[in-house]
Amino acid sequence: MFVVVMLMAAVAVAQEGKTQVVDKVVAVVGKNIILQSDIENQYIQYRMSGSIEGSASSIRCAILEELLFQKLMLYQAELDSLTLTDAEVDMELNRRISDLVGRAGSQEKLESIFNRSMAEIKEELRRLVGEKSLQDKVRANILQGVTVAPAEVKAFYNSLPQDSIPMVDTEYEVVQIVKRPPISIDEKLAVKDQLYQIRKRILDGESSFSTMAVLYSEDPGSARKGGELGFTGRGEFAPEFEAVAFNLRDGEISEVVETQFGFHIIQLIERRDDYVNCRHILMTAKVPVEALEKAQNELDSVAMLIRNGDMTFEEACLKFSDDDSKTNGGYIVNPMAGGYRLGLKDMQELGEYPNFGEFKNLAFVTAKLKVGEVSSPLPMTTNDGNDAFRLVMVKRKIDAHKATLEDDYALIQNWAVNHKNQEVIKTWIRAKAKKAFIRIDEDFEDCDFQFEWK
């Protein structure tokens, strides 16, 4: 199998570990060079991740081969005249930085980890981000139109040795009945008035937009960055938000804007073609406690109807649920793989994301329920961030088992697609490596590469 050593989105940790590398060019692909430090930095990250497979030399050879593939894609990007706008690079850079800050816990912690200011971290990452974006474009072109027919999926599965067919963890099909108490007009007006007061204070010069965002915004991802969202393209905001953001002038602050997530005021930092960098302050109207108590009591009664056999869960869902899932019997859809089957690990991972509120604590509840057992009313946060209550029932439990075509077709189809993608990439590398100028340092002549690079 083609070994792929993932390029981690991080600044060179060699400097953090006080490792000194005598740098030199170890390979050239077209106009693109690979440095000894490129290999050493990734080797250190590989070891820091806890991986211990392979000797030091074999790991370095595998890293070099992956870097050769990456540089070959950059070479192809040059031949195809593929380019990136500054806005595209900035958007991806900001996404990477946000991810790194989230992993570190704060901007200050990230700066401490890398012993760099945020400006320096961004500068060091910019080249990597630009190259990675171009490589992604080339990879997309290579794999364009790759599909697998049902017959290919079956043939792929039948080609697998029995002892290599992986086990599938226990999965569940879960249904729900959701009661979403309405938010009163008074609650909404109170929030809008508070935002207008904040806007007035900013316009009057009492405080900056970024300071007020840190103090008041209910968007945890952007609040700690002064409300800044980074460069974002059309179609990525809520429609109401986008319509306002793309019509602001630099520095201008919007009126209050309502979206499915709550109420916002927006300040445009900069616009570049079809990308904007904005700050925003988000505030949400809260569901009154009395309305939540009413929803809980209503679901108590619904649960009793189901348990007594007066109504099926599906019938009760269609009649009482306020969630869109009522049209499909209340099934909770797996947003990663599609379909209704979810593992406990899937639920836990999804529950960590604010936009997947329905999965928070779902694994804990599901693990305790028997098939067909209806839960008591459970508090939840909906995907749009509002408080609600729901009933949950495990419709079906699929015990851990060796993957089969009958039970795990979608999963096996993904394996087959990935296998075919690998074969297409291998064919592409063999063809392109023959035509490109490639030179590899003699220190790596003994590497057991999978491809003929010279």
State the CB neighbour count (10 A cutoff) for residue 94: 19
140-180 residue pLDDT tens: 999 999 999 999 999 999 999 999 998 999 999 999 999 99
Winning range, highest mean pLDDT, from 3-7, 17-21, 119-123: 119-123
Q: Percent of the chain, pLDDT > 90? A: 66
Q: What tokens appear for 270 in the block?
A: 């900069």
Q: For position 8, what pLDDT does the model report?
A: 39
Q: How confident is the model at residue 52 (pLDDT cuts 50, 70, 90)?
A: low
Q: For position 426, what pLDDT does the model report?
A: 95
Q: For position 373, what pLDDT does the model report?
A: 97
pTM: 0.68
**Helix, strand or coil for residue 283?**
strand
Q: How confident is the model at residue 16 (pLDDT cuts 50, 70, 90)?
A: very low
Average pLDDT over residues 364-392: 93
**Helix, strand or coil for residue 92?**
helix
Q: End-to-end CA distance of the chain: give it in Å, rounded.
A: 20
The residue count for the chain: 454
213-234 residue pLDDT tens: 999 999 887 898 899 988 888 8
Q: What tokens appear for 377 in the block?
A: 């009313």
Average pLDDT over residues 347-356: 85
DSSP 275: E
Pairing of strands 438-440, 401-402: unpaired
Residues 6+ apart with CB under 8 A from 247: none
Q: For position 102, what pLDDT does the model report?
A: 67
Mean pLDDT for all residues in the chain? 89
CB 411 within 8 A of CB 25: no
79-119 residue pLDDT tens: 999 998 888 888 888 888 877 776 776 777 878 887 888 88
347 pLDDT above the threshold of 70: yes
> Is CATH 3.10.50.40 the classification given to domain 185-283?
yes
- Considering the four listed CATH numbers 1.10.4030.10, 1.10.3720.10, 1.10.10.10, 3.40.920.10, the one that applies to the domain covering 13-147+414-444 is 1.10.4030.10
DSSP 229: E
Q: Name the CA radius of gyration of the chain, rounded.
A: 27
Residues 6+ apart with CB under 8 A from 278: 228, 229, 232, 245, 248, 266, 267, 268, 269
For 171-182+287-399, CATH gives 3.10.50.40
Give domain limits for the chain: 13-147+414-444, 171-182+287-399, 185-283
Rounded-to-integer distance, Cα 285 and Cα 187, Å: 6
Q: For position 93, what pLDDT does the model report?
A: 86
Helix (H) or strand (E) holding 440: strand 438-440
2 pLDDT above the threshold of 50: no
Helix (H) or strand (E) holding 280: strand 275-283
Query: Left, alpha or beta for 202 (phi > 0: left; psi -120 to 50: alpha)?
Result: alpha
| DSSP E strands, 289-347 | 341-343
Distance of CA 447 to the CA centre of its chain: 35
Do 171-182+287-399 and 185-283 have matching folds? yes
10 pLDDT above the threshold of 80: no
